[in-house]
Every structure is written in C-alpha cells, then in structure tokens.
Amino acid sequence: MNEKMKKIKEILEKKAAFDDAITLLNWDLETEAPRMAIEKKSKTLNYLSGESYSTVINDEFKELVYSVDENNLNELDRKIIQEIKKETFEKMKKIPKEDYQKYSEIVLVASRVWERAKNENNYEIFKDYLKQIIEYNKKFIKLRGYEGHQYNTLLDDYEPEMTVVELDEFFEKVRTELSPLIKKIVKSEKKVLDEEKRKKFKSLKFDIQKQKELSKEILDVMKFDFERGILKESEHPFTTDMGNKDVRITTHYYENNLLSSVYSTIHEGGHALYEQHITDEISNTILGNGTSMGIHESQSRIYENMFGRSREFLSFLYPKIEKVFDGILSKNGITAEDLYILANEVEESFIRIEADELTYPIHILIRYELEKEIFSDLDKEVDVDELAEAWADKYEKYLGIRPETYSKGILQDVHWASGLFGYFPSYALGSAYSAQIYDTINKKVNILDELKNGEFSRINEILKNNIHQFGKTKTPKEIIKDMTGKEFDSSYYIDYLIGKFSEIY
C-alpha cells in the first residue's frame, strides 16, 4: 500500500474509534440511559466530538491528504481521498472547533428535552434549543458558503448535488398531480371499509410484549441478521451503525396502534439491510455508509410501503399476527383484506410517520417549505413562536386540518432537535426513487409472488448487488442510472400512487 495512504487510513481509524464511542453514547441516551444521566453524558460527548474533530482537522493531516497523487491510487483509495477532501476540508474544517463541540452538545441535550416536550406537549421548554440550533446552522452556512439558495448547503449534506431548483420542480409536480386525487378521496362519501370494523380495529389493545415478538419475527422474515444487529425501543424510531457488523434499529410501540410498530420496524429494517449489505472491503472506511439519505430512504420506504403495505405481504402477515395475538383480528371480524385497507387508508392526519402513502409527500412538502423559508435569510432571527404557527398554517393550507397541540405539530419530529435541517426532502425523494427501483426489480423477479410467500431472499439480493454493496463509492445519480438504465424520473412514483389508490378507492 502507498505509505501515505497507509498513514491516512490509520488516522481515519483513530477518528472512527472516537465516532464509535459517540454513536454508542447517543444510542444509550436514546434507548436506556436515565434522564438524569444527560448532563454528564453531554460533557463526555463534548470532549469526544472535539477529539474526533482534531484528529482530522489539522495542518499535518491536510498536507498529507493533498500531497497524495490520486493518479497513482486504485479506484477505492482515490474515492476515499476525494471523500476526505469534500467532507473534512470543504465542510468540517470551515467550522471552528469550539462551535463544532458546542453544537454537538446542544443537539444532544435538545434531543432529550424534545422527548420530554413532546410527551408533555410543552413547547416552552424546547423552543430556545430550537432557536439556538437554527442560528448555528445559519452560521455554518455562512462559514461553508453556498451556491444559489442558502438552503442548498444543508440539502447537499443529505442528498449530494440536490438543489432548491430541482426540489421546487419535484414538489410542484407532486402537489399538482396528487392533490386532486387526495381531495377526491377525502371528500368522497364512499367507504372502502365498514365503519364498525374500522372502529373495532382502532379500539383493540395489542399487548406491547407481543408486539415486540411480532417485530422480531418481521425482521427475521426480511432477513435482518441478528448476529450483526439489534432491535430496541425509542421515542422516535431510528437506525444507527458502526460498520456492517453492528447495525442497530429502534421502533416504538403503542398499545392501541399495532400498525405503527409494524411499519416503523419494517421501515428501519430497510435502512438496516442497506448497512448490513455493504461489502467488508469498504464497510470500515469513510465510504462505508449509504450514499445519500435519499437512496437510504428509498430502501426503508420500498420495504415499508411498496412491499410491506401490499395486499400480498399482508395476506402473508395476517396469520402471523393472529398467532402472536391469539386470533385477535378474526375474533373481531377483521379479515386479511380489511387489514390491507386499514394499512392503506387515506386520511388527512397530523403525524408524518403515521401518514398514508398518498398524503405522505404533502407532509414532507410542508417541512421543505418551512426549512426553505427559515434559511432564505441568514441574517434574520427566527421567531420560534411564529414558526410553530407557520407549521399549523401550512397543515391547514395543504391538508385542511390544524393541529390543536404542539405534539401533533412542530414537536412531532425529532429531526430539528437533532439539527437535521435538509434531511426531510430525502423522504419524498426516497419514496420517488423506490418506485423506479421497484419497476426494475419486478422485471427480474415477480415481486408480488415473492411477497405472497414472505420471501425476500431474491429481492434482497437484487438490492444488495445494485445498491447496498457499493456504500458511498457510487453517487445517488449513478446508483439510479446504473440500476434502472434511466435518469431519475418521478413519474414512476406519481403513476404508482395514482394507480394504487384509484384501485383501492
């Protein structure tokens, strides 16, 4: 190995050790640590984030990286150098160490305060943290610079090369082509499910311990590897990893809402399979993660929605639910077909993660517009009380409903508490990517026949070979083009939604 590359990789391994420790502490805080532990843990994390930063942000490391002749490297090492230059010296180095540490500490504390604020519907205890996080992000945009809209800098963190211009066009198409169908369905008096059955299902209580058993069984069906992964519970479901042999996911359980945990588990399982399938060769390098959040969300949402909410998969899942919950559905007159309708009901709802497929992109459109407005003027101080009202206003404008609590409004997502501005559009892009990916898979294997039998091996293999294994060695655009033979085309997504929900309704 090139001696300079050997030294660079040793330094990156040292940084990875600090980052693993940070990941573990964050995981512990989200899943098991007592509330009173946060103060000490935040100080520890402040220190570790500073050490991680200093490992690569120094003149010696920069000189070493830029002294490497990329022409004399193999393709993988060349991509590693390019990734270091972009993520370390074009992004991180522009943020002063003290700001980096302080910001890391704030988002850690803010995430725990958010959890309490959401559960207590208490925006007052959280809003000052939100204000600080927004101001830091504005400061970081100024330090890092931007091209076009200021928000582009944050978008690039989650979907490389994505811009406001492209997203405006995408969301305009989503809004204009889906809104008429949404309005037609929600205003229609036609009932696709007997109201008594619907009420009966909503009133059922599903034992939490048995829901945990079902979630594990679902992950087994999906071929999630429990030798290299784990499932826990958190307020807001998420996936994290420390290489392809330590992938951790969480879900959340509600006694009166079985479908919530079912689909949170499937969603996070899709993320986890992506990480578990990255090849060993790149897993422990700077390229050893999903290439973008849009591609990552395409995997979680193809499993959750296109596979998991299909009539065929639910006919497979129905007897498993019956077995775990002692025949609770059939005893209450709910059939597998009823379960399919319940999993695909279109309704104007407040909570994004509970939203049906058809209205889901409208939830993302709302967040996208709010974030774009927040960062349209970097010198203007954001009034967080007005922001909460703006959230409610947009729900009223686009979905005809107004959240009566903060918990159903601005407090429902953890993303802003975690500083993840620019992330939300990835959910809609991921959904759109997934439709184009689905079309390609279906040309190689009959997806619905596979799902009818709960068989994911062939589907997983196609996704692994075309997307997962590459980690960050391919860009999002390369992934889509190489797999599907075409550039990204949102019409696959629009056609899928219109076709599916026109058939149901």
Whole-model pTM: value is: 0.93
Cα separation, 107 vs 416, in Å, equals 9
State the pLDDT at residue 39.
86
pLDDT of residue 353: 87
Q: Are residues 59 and 200 in the same domain?
A: no
Per the domain annotation, does 374 fall within a domain? no
Same domain, 212 and 92: no
CATH code: domain of residue 465? 1.10.1370.30
Whether residues 132 and 224 fall in one domain: no
* Statement: residue 35 has pLDDT above 90: no
411 falls within a domain: no
Tell me, yes or no, whether 207 lies in a domain. yes
* Same domain, yes or no: 141 and 56: yes
Q: Examine the domain organization and report whether 43 and 98 are in the same domain.
A: yes
* Domain identity same for 32 and 116: yes
328: in domain: yes
12 located within any domain = yes
Of the residues 117, 147, 177, which one is the last residue of a structural domain?
147
Catalytic (active site) residue 268: yes
Domain that holds residue 24: 3-147
What are the tens digits of pLDDT across the range 472-491? 999 999 999 999 999 999 99
Residue of 268, 275, 304, 450 marked catalytic: 268
- Domain boundary, last residue among 115, 147, 179: 147
Neighbours of 120 (CB within 10 A): 14
- Which pLDDT score is estimated for 27? 94
Residues 25 and 91 in one domain: yes
Q: Does residue 338 carry a pLDDT above 80? A: yes
433 within domain boundaries: yes
Number of domains in the chain: 2
pLDDT (0 to 100) of residue 1: 57
Same domain, 91 and 32: yes
Looking at the structure, tell me whether residues 465 and 345 fall in a common domain.
yes
Q: Is the torsion defined by CA of 267, 261, 355, 151 positive or negative?
A: negative
Question: Residue 195: CA atoms inside 13 Å, Cβ hemisphere, count?
Answer: 3
In a domain, residue 399? The reply is no
**pLDDT category of residue 9 using cuts at 50, 70 and 90:** very high
Cα gap 75→453, rounded to integer Å? 41
Taking only the tens place, the pLDDT of each residue in 47-98 is: 999 999 999 999 999 999 999 999 999 999 999 999 999 999 999 999 999 9
Do 132 and 204 share a domain, yes or no? Answer: no
CA distance 412 to 252: 14
Mean pLDDT, all residues of the chain: 95
Banded pLDDT at 178 (limits 50, 70, 90): very high
486 found inside a domain: yes
Is residue 343 located within the same domain as residue 471?
yes
Tokens at residue 299, please?
A: 């995997």
Nearest 5°: the CA angle 468, 310, 253 is 80
More confident residue, 496 or 353: 496
Distance CA 191, CA 263 (A): 24
| CB neighbour list of residue 453: distance below 8 Å, 6 or more residues apart | 316
| pLDDT-wise least confident of 35-49, 272-286, 476-490 | 35-49
Residue 186's pLDDT band (boundaries 50, 70, 90)? confident
Last-in-domain residue among 90, 112, 147: 147
Q: Are residues 136 and 245 in the same domain?
A: no
The pLDDT tens digits of the residues spanning 188-204 come to 877 788 889 999 999 99
